Amino acid sequence: MKVWTHRGFPFTENQIESFQKCYKDGIRHFETDIHATRDGVLILSHDSNILRLTGLNYEISQLDFAQLNELTKNIFQFSRLEDLINLFPDVEISIDIKHEPALIPLINLIKSTGFKNLVVGSFNTRRINTFRSEVPNCRTALTSIEILKLAYGIKIDLGKYTNRYAMVPIKFKGIRILTKKFLSRTKLANIPTFIWTVNSLTESIYLAKLEVSGIVTDDFRLFV
């Protein structure tokens, strides 16, 4: 199974240096989240607000990139998505578009640079469909609606599911997503299936028996 590091864990989250450590230890699959600063710079961040990481109560979208790093320079250094991609051209990077302001800058970045080895997803279906229409050759993660259709066997045109990944939890809000039927449908559609977030060796053994494609974890050292 492929092993993805979740936000660069077990090291400091969403730091270039953390992903460098993961890479040094052999990890070639990164998962991260993005937000856009006021001046359109895409940064690695799970939260829209920097309070949890810095103790400072600011929305990322209200700050320019230079201003953000000046405010937090002695606390936490935010990293640019473009730097992460440039530093690791041989790594597959899964990107979750966390906030609407990040959508257009991401589309423009990929169009202007032709970055490959990306998997782009979002919990917002409209957002990811807009991305797909603008960058049709980029691999994307299935939307929540697509995942539920596959999970419940709702009739779909599998021909539309090309260039997709299923990045899913075992359960979501009490709904069992990962079943043998779900896996049989993703395999029929040639959709690799990756499970998040797996932090147990026992659980990984169970998933390996199900022949999932890989796992997203907070501590890759448990599995390599």
Q: Which tens digit of pLDDT belongs to each residue from 133-168?
A: 999 999 999 999 999 999 988 877 767 778 999 999
Q: What percent of the chain lies above the pLDDT cut of 70?
A: 100
Q: How far is CA 27 from CA 116, 139, 148, 200, in A?
A: 17, 20, 30, 18
Q: Are 70 and 61 in contact (CB under 8 A)?
A: no
pLDDT recorded at residue 172: 87
pTM: 0.96
Kindly state the average pLDDT of the residues 198-224: 96
Give the pLDDT of residue 198.
Answer: 98
Reported as a single tens digit per residue, the pLDDT across 86-96 is: 999 999 999 99
CA–CA distance, 52 with 31 (Å, rounded to integer): 20
User: Dihedral, CA atoms, 94, 27, 222, 5, nearest 10 degrees?
Assistant: -20
